[in-house]
Amino acid sequence: MVRVRTRPPGNAALRWAAGCGEHWTPPSIRALRPRSIATNAAVREPSVEFPEGVPPAPVAPRRTGLERKEAIKNAKPFSDFLTDTFNRQHDYLRISITERCNLRCLYCMPEEGIPLSPSANMLTTPEIFYLSSLFVSQGVTKIRLTGGEPTVRRDIVPLMQQIGSLRPKGLRELALTTNGIALHRKLDAMVEAGLTGVNLSLDTLDPFQFQIMTRRKGFDAVMRSIDRILEMNKLGANVKLKVNCVVMRGLNEREILPFVEMGREKDIEVRFIEYMPFGGNKWSENKMISFQEMLDIIRTKYPGLRHIPGHKNDTSKTYEVPGFVGRVGFITSMTNDFCGTCNRLRITSDGNLKVCLHGNDEVSLRDLLRQGNSGEPIDQEAFERIRQLEMDRHEGRLSDETILGWGQRERELLDMIGIAVKKKAEKHADLNDLANMENRPMILIGG
């Protein structure tokens, strides 16, 4: 491994380095780190580790306005492999990195639990990094790590460091979806690795109700994670924070207003999600509270609630209460879908590409990826060996298309991805059909 010490630049250089993909820790965030009890001295700042062959991102000179216009003019067209027959360009990739979770939420996992896949079926860190680089080479600008619960994966920080190294190749956002139980313990290191956004799942503000809905304790730990993000943001971390709340009739609809009021003085976007059917979650239409009903509940107390125009690819309809710092969003998959502007693809933790959250068609990228390794998981040693074979086959010349240049296997993977994307339906099935479809439990999809 190549070890590179992070450097503490001045404020202007910090903004410059961030724009160029360099990973650094703001001095004000470093100052918040705990001090050693034994020595009462600041804990030594850790160095950032990069995998062999992945150098730290260079600090490039700023471009003039004319140079930027010229770059846009000469930019390659968006990848055909990631463009479907409805001309939707998929530049957002969600990767589930584990099936494991430290909660048992009612809408996510069956009460009896789920059988976990054999560990040999799970994508390894080199495999996840390779697929990330392949998708970024084709135009993906945002990667979100999901689970299960991604923070339970032991090597999540080194994995994020590797994915974060793709910024010079076009990656703009590296985000995380988490339940927040363990996040506060790893958050500083994740920000150093390039974390730009956190979607935190929280369905109640009542500690007792939390234990009922998640079948576990942990409310205080979740709130520590939220507070830590807000604290770091005041010091310049700039991590987008969204709190996701699945609303279910008879369980937590009375908490809609308290969730809205979290944003009175805190820079939080609370997003209410319509309850959706997935394998084993005992979905019932009677449990679902529609977007319109949620709006009506909020407007009984805050009649000034108003819509805010968003980006065309937003999954959420965003609103604000005048005078509040935070915002309110609604994810309306059941009553008002956003399929027409969908730009998301998913890779499950066992290596399947899933082009629609509510579709049951999947193709295995893992099996094709491992063909050069006799079907076995690709660890770091095997990763380097396969890469060297491909380099030798191409007389030592690396491909311009990806970091790794895996020749024929790479072309086959892109062809498989392109075929799957082209088969993506115009929209997912309607509510009644979804309720009767077979689909994975949410925890095995990654949301």
For the segment 363-369, the average pLDDT, to the nearest whole number, is 95
Q: b or e along 136-171 (b: 16 or more beta carbons within 10 Å of the residue's beta carbon)?
A: bbbbbebbbbbbbbbbbbeebbbbbbbbbbbbeeeb
- Top mean pLDDT of 11-20, 334-343, 359-368, 406-415 is at 359-368
The whole model's pTM is what?
0.79
- Residues facing residue 89 across a β-bridge: 83
pLDDT at 64 over 90: no
pLDDT at 179 over 50: yes
Taking the alpha carbons at both ends of the chain, their separation in whole angstroms is 33
Helix then strand then coil, % of the chain, to nearest 5: 35, 15, 45
pLDDT at 324 over 90: yes
Half-sphere exposure of 7 (CA within 13 A, CB side): 12
For the segment 277-296, the average pLDDT, to the nearest whole number, is 76
CB-CB contact of 101 with 328 (8 Å):
no
What stretch of H or E contains 178?
Answer: strand 173-178
Percent with pLDDT over 90 in the chain: 55
How much is the pLDDT for 377?
95
Q: Rounded to the nearest 5°, which phi and psi values hold at 317?
A: -90, 120
Strand-strand pairing, 352-354 and 362-364: antiparallel
Long-range contacts of 52-57, Cβ-Cβ distance < 8 Å, separation of 24 or more? 52/1, 52/2, 52/384, 53/387, 53/403, 54/162, 54/165, 54/403, 55/2, 55/165, 56/4, 56/22, 56/23, 56/165, 57/20, 57/21, 57/22, 57/23, 57/165, 57/167, 57/168
Q: What is the dihedral of CA 188, 190, 195, 200, to 10 degrees?
A: -80
CB-CB contact of 95 with 150 (8 Å):
no
Average the pLDDT over each of 11-25, 89-103, 107-121, 373-387 and give the range with the smallest value: 11-25
What are the extents of the domains in the chain?
10-47+58-73, 80-346+425-444
CB-CB contact of 95 with 365 (8 Å):
no
Write the pLDDT tens digit of every residue in 331-356: 987 787 768 889 999 999 999 999 98
CB-CB contact of 299 with 293 (8 Å):
no
Assign domain 80-346+425-444 to a CATH class: alpha beta
Between CA 370 and CA 128 the distance in angstroms is 12
What stretch of H or E contains 14?
Answer: helix 11-20
Token reading at 246:
């699945």
How much is the pLDDT for 367?
96
Write the pLDDT tens digit of every residue in 90-123: 999 999 999 998 888 777 776 777 788 899 999 9
Return the SS3 of 345: strand
How much is the pLDDT for 61?
58
Q: b or e along 175-205 (b: 16 or more beta carbons within 10 Å of the residue's beta carbon)?
A: bbbbbbbbbbebbbbbbbbbbbbbbbbbbbb
For the segment 228-243, the average pLDDT, to the nearest whole number, is 96
Residue with tokens 């998913």: 346
